[in-house]
């Protein structure tokens, strides 16, 4: 960890052209917030002492503490670092505490975000920005570093614009186990992905050995990772699970839920016929959202969310959607009709897809052969992986990302996310202009400007 | 692994006196099958070549392959070793294959039982014993080594008696992650327990760090381990989970299910009041069987298992049992009324106790405060741990157990289980007479003679 010198950067044109409509949203940012920054071999010499704050946002990912230790190391003896307690919610409330290298270095290589805690507050109101401006003034902050995923980076770029008038930088560090925040060649992956996958891979390898030992049971493993199939793709490939499904491909093939159930059921029949009546099947958390029939149903439910009254919610559905819904067991029907998050959204991640598939496959198999013996065991691996200790890749990657983010902040840049490819180009740091990553997306029938999530296919 | 010399043993009186009724069940065993065997420093010199078979039985446990490699090492160049494919079921069918050190040494330190597979067949019929006698004759076996838990050791001692007329020894190796097969000071623990616990401890530590990072959610973790609370006790203590429950203590305190729900609910209320609205709660797989009200209900259901008709099954219950049953959500009521294993037993291990407790606690909390926010997340950790690679304790322990079991077999002893305390007395091997471990137990209202399982309290 001899990284106490601050990096300097040169500006390069960003390879793609920024959508002028998107650029117009950031009137307070100077032109150099949209360039690509490349680190140079010369260290950046800073004479003035600066005041930085660092903040976790969203779910934990392995290595987050190393990001903070690296920033603290960079600030040591020259600058003042503050830790924001409890994510954007804590930032709005001004929950800052001074943070020295001594305070945080025992957290190096330790999983979790417990040093500063985190939350899921999103900056949705002018009052949020106004409150943060007050905090910036009160603590005379020169920069805020946001360690977070795609939505947190969206917040970071809008916050960068809002804080430009106070000359306070906002810098992002790309965090998420989901693996959907990546911009090769500047950033091949977000931090935490490989460490979390290591946990899931070990558990699934254990399940595979178990089925090979006892020669029974079909394990259905749902893996965290939201909409995209990155985790399932990586874990499925590395473990040689019998089957794994990616929503991206199912959508491409226009597969409906019953197509999928038939596919799994037929695989199990064939495998059993071939004297292998056991196996492990992996699915991503966001599987259902990709299936065209389920997508249609969810859109229908979102259009008329008669929350709290399942009969009314059901009667307001189209005939097609009623048919789609009725294929589900009662517990899933209820979840779809009744349970919403604070914003009225269907909580797809809470749907027990792994159990649903077991129930539907069981039903399909019984139709094919009433005497067929099938025992499915559901698992959901998620929380277990996102707070594990960082593996050596993430431990090193996060140290580099923290150093880069701290350097960007001390240089006075704003609206940038730290980037590096630690495997192929470990001495080349980047500042990735967050504005260049924005896209228009439809969420609950509204168009919003957000940092683009990558899927397995793009 | 320089253990190719065969141990010799001397007979010592077993500290406790054998129940004559139990001894009378084993008329074919000689008196020295009931003594305690202690290894001596002199190696056992064997001139005749012997033919041994080794067999896994029951669920996998980490280290099983090391047992086999150690036996193969002992047999190398002098004796013939056979692997029984697929547990007692495979033994009955004569599924034996020659096994050399070369065949198995690449499995050293690898989890699972996949080298030979395993099954759950129990020796319940004379036809089973007759079939095994034929296999022993056909392969001219001098000994069979059974790697298994308490029920497998029960089978082993009855098989030892049956095979005495053929001068074929039966030797046991104490396997089970459940930790309920232990006889200190000769055997402090069965193999696999600590390795499986290591997996659960890592996962639960990750969950604890997650709750400390995001400061929400109550994780309810059910842990494998059947009736006894050994795994939950060890894991709960080592992880500092917020709460863990042992059926042994709940039964001692005559706690009913609703007492338990109130206890958990009040803990959550108090913890939330103290600004800690999150935590991790561990329960053993067999929790419910210990609660007096549930015990009574299960006995009632076993007395009149009107399987397949829930209305009839319900109407045949006593008024008290009806009340007990009706406190459950519908999915648990159905599981209790309808689902039975092949022997007509209620499959308590399949009951989703972790979900049941979340539902009941949620209901209790809503009664106390309709606005109380509670989100429980269920987990069941079991299969993930029992096929992990052995940790260093089990890797070494299993190598020793295999060497001891092989030595007992080559000495011609029968009805013994290998024993050693690798931590406190690593050079003293034991042969533990299985008959001395037998006890009378009531199972489904029948009295049976079985190897005693230990609980946390005895």
- DSSP state for residue B316 in the 8-state scheme: T
Chain A nearest-CA distance from B86, in A, is: 8
Interatomic CA distance for residues A399 and A126, integer angstroms: 34
Average pLDDT estimate for B421-426: 96
Q: Find residues 388-427 of chain A whose CB sits inside 8 Å of chain B.
A: 388
- Mapped to the 3 state alphabet, what secondary structure does chain A carry? CCCCCEEEEEEECCCCCCCHHHHCCCCCCCHHHCCEEEEEEEEECCCCCCEEEEEECCCCCCCHHHHHHHHHHHHCCCCEEEEECCHHHHHHCCCEEECCHHHHHHHCCCCCCCCCCCCCCCCCCHHHHHHHHHHHHHHCCCEEEEEECHHHHHHHHHHHHHHHHHCCEEEEEEECCCCCCCECCCECCCECHHHHHHHHHHHHHHHHHHHHHHCCCEEEEEECCCCCCHHHHHHHHHHCCCEECCHHHHHHCCCCHHHHHHHHHHHHHHHHHCCCCCEEEEEECCHHHHCHHHHHHHHHHHHCCCCCCHHHHHHCCCHHHHHHHHCCCHHHHHHHHHCECCCCCECHHHCCHHHHHHHHHHHHHHHHCCCCCCCEEEEEECHHHHCCCCCHHHHHHHHHHHHHHHHHHHHCCCCEEEEEECCCEEEEEEEEEHHHHEEEEEECCEEEEEECCCCCCC
Q: B117 vs A213: CB contact, 8 Å cut-off?
A: yes
Summarize pLDDT for A379-426 with one digit per residue, the tens: 999 999 999 999 999 999 999 999 999 999 999 999 999 999 999 999
Interatomic CA distance for residues A408 and B128, integer angstroms: 75
Interatomic CA distance for residues A7 and A37, integer angstroms: 11
Closest CA to B208 of B240, B253, B163: B240
Answer yes or no: same fold for A6-192+390-451 and A194-385: yes
Question: What would be the CATH architecture of the domain defined by B6-192+390-451?
Answer: 3-Layer(aba) Sandwich (3.40)
Q: Which residue of B has its CA nearest to A214?
A: B118
A447 burial level (CB within 10 Å; 0-12, 13-18, 19+): exposed
Q: Find residues 183-202 of chain A whose CB sits inside 8 Å of chain B.
A: 199, 202
Interatomic CA distance for residues B27 and B32, integer angstroms: 13
Per-residue confidence at A344, pLDDT binned at 50, 70, 90? low
The pLDDT assigned to A236 comes to 97
pLDDT at A171 over 80: yes
Chain B nearest-CA distance from A114, in A, is: 4
Mutate to test the interface with B, among A209, A220, A221, A389 (most CBs of B within 10 A): A209
User: Active-site residues of A: which are they?
Assistant: 178
β-pairing, A218-223 vs A279-284, is parallel
**A212 contacts chain B (CB < 8 A):** yes
**CATH assignment of A194-385?**
3.40.50.460
The pLDDT assigned to A1 comes to 42
Q: Which residue of B has its CA nearest to A57?
A: B214
Least confident of B72-86, B146-160, B341-355, B442-456: B341-355
Q: Which residue of A has its CA nearest to B380?
A: A379
The pLDDT assigned to A31 comes to 86
How many C-beta neighbours within 10 Å does residue A111 have?
Answer: 28
Radius of gyration of chain B (CA): 24
Is the ipTM, as predicted for this complex, more than 0.90? yes
pLDDT at B372 over 90: yes
**A260 contacts chain B (CB < 8 A):** no
Give the domain B194-386 fold.
Answer: Rossmann fold (3.40.50)
Chain B nearest-CA distance from A40, in A, is: 36
The pLDDT assigned to A234 comes to 97
Q: Find residues 217-246 of chain A whose CB sits inside 8 Å of chain B.
A: 217, 219
A383 to chain B: which residues are within 8 Å by CB? 206-207, 210, 217, 219, 377
Summarize pLDDT for A1-45 with one digit per residue, the tens: 444 699 999 999 999 888 899 999 999 999 889 999 999 999 898
Nearest to A210 among B112, B215, B377 (CB): B112
**B315 contacts chain A (CB < 8 A):** no
- DSSP state for residue A14 in the 8-state scheme: -
Interatomic CA distance for residues A123 and A158, integer angstroms: 9
The token duo for A430 is 């980047």
With beta carbons less than 8 A apart as the criterion, state whether B68 and B115 touch.
Answer: yes
Average pLDDT estimate for A251-259: 96
pLDDT at A175 over 70: yes
The continuous run of DSSP H or E covering A251 comes out as helix A247-252
What's the distance, Cα to Cα, between the start and end of chain A in Å?
Answer: 35
The pLDDT assigned to B1 comes to 42
The token duo for B389 is 């690679």
Interatomic CA distance for residues A267 and A242, integer angstroms: 9
Closest CA to B349 of B287, B294, B393: B287
Residue percentage of chain B with pLDDT more than 90: 81
**A207 contacts chain B (CB < 8 A):** yes
pLDDT at B343 over 70: no
Per-residue confidence at A446, pLDDT binned at 50, 70, 90? confident
With beta carbons less than 8 A apart as the criterion, state whether A178 and A286 touch.
Answer: no
Summarize pLDDT for B68-126 with one digit per residue, the tens: 999 999 999 999 999 999 999 999 999 999 999 999 999 999 999 999 999 999 999 99
The pLDDT assigned to B240 comes to 87
Nearest to B111 among A118, A206, A215 (CB): A206
Interatomic CA distance for residues A284 and A100, integer angstroms: 40
Q: What residue ranges do the domains of chain B occupy?
A: 6-192+390-451, 194-386
Least confident of A251-255, A269-273, B19-23: B19-23
Average pLDDT estimate for B136-153: 98
Per-residue confidence at B342, pLDDT binned at 50, 70, 90? low
Summarize pLDDT for A184-226 with one digit per residue, the tens: 999 999 999 999 999 999 999 999 999 999 999 999 999 999 8
The pLDDT assigned to B304 comes to 63
Q: Which residue of B has its CA nearest to A329?
A: B331
How many C-beta neighbours within 10 Å does residue B369 have?
Answer: 11
Q: Which residue of A has its CA nearest to B350?
A: A377
The pLDDT assigned to B422 comes to 96
Closest CA to A336 of A350, A346, A323, A324: A346
The pLDDT assigned to B306 comes to 54
Average pLDDT estimate for A325-347: 78
With beta carbons less than 8 A apart as the criterion, state whether B261 and B299 touch.
Answer: no
B219 to chain A: which residues are within 8 Å by CB? 383
Closest CA to B113 of A168, A210, A18, A9: A210
Mutate to test the interface with A, among B57, B83, B210 (most CBs of A within 10 A): B210
**A85 contacts chain B (CB < 8 A):** no
SS3 A217: coil
The pLDDT assigned to A409 comes to 98
Q: B210 vs A386: CB contact, 8 Å cut-off?
A: yes
Residue percentage of chain A with pLDDT more than 90: 81
């Amino acid at each position: 960890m001899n990284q106490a010198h601050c990096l300097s950067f040169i500006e390069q044109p960003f390879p793609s052209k920024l959508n002028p409509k998107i650029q117009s949203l950031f009137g307070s940012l100077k032109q150099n917030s949209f360039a690509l920054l490349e680190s140079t071999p010369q260290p950046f010499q800073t004479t003035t002492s600066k005041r930085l704050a660092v903040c976790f946002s969203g779910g934990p990912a392995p290595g987050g503490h190393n990001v903070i230790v690296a920033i603290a190391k960079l600030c040591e003896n020259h600058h003042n670092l503050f830790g924001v307690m409890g994510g954007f919610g804590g930032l709005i409330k001004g929950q800052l505490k001074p943070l020295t290298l001594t305070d945080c270095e025992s957290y190096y290589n330790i999983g979790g975000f417990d040093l500063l805690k985190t939350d899921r507050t999103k900056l949705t109101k002018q009052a949020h920005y106004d409150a943060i401006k007050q905090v910036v003034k009160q603590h005379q902050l020169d920069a805020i570093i946001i360690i977070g995923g795609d939505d947190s980076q969206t917040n970071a770029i809008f916050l960068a614009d809002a804080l430009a008038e106070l000359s306070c930088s906002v810098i992002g560090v790309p965090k998420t186990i989901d693996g959907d925040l990546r911009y090769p060649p500047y950033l091949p992956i977000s931090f935490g992905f490989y460490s979390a996958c290591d946990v899931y891979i070990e558990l699934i390898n254990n399940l595979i050995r178990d089925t090979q030992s006892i020669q029974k049971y079909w394990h259905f493993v749902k893996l965290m990772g939201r909409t995209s199939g990155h985790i399932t793709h990586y874990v499925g490939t590395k473990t040689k699970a019998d089957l794994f499904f990616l929503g991206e491909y199912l959508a491409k093939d226009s597969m409906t839920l019953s197509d999928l159930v038939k596919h799994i059921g037929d695989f199990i029949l064939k495998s059993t016929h071939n004297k292998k009546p056991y196996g492990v099947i992996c699915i991503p958390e966001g599987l259902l959202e990709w299936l065209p029939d389920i997508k249609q149903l969810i859109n229908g439910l979102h259009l008329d969310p008669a929350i709290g009254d399942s009969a009314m919610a059901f009667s307001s559905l189209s005939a097609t959607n009623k048919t789609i819904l009725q294929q589900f067991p009662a517990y899933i029907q209820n979840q779809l009709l009744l349970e919403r998050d604070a914003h009225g959204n269907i909580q797809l991640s809470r749907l027990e897809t792994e159990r649903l598939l077991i129930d539907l496959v069981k039903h399909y198999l019984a139709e094919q052969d009433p005497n067929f013996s099938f025992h499915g065991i559901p698992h959901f691996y998620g929380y277990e992986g996102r707070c594990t200790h960082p593996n050596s890749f993430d431990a090193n990657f996060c140290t580099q990302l923290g150093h880069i983010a701290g350097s960007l902040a001390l240089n006075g840049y704003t609206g940038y996310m730290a980037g590096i490819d630690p495997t192929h180009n470990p001495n080349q740091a980047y500042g990735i202009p967050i504005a260049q990553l924005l896209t228009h997306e439809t969420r609950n029938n509204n168009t919003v400007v957000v940092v683009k999530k990558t899927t397995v296919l793009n």
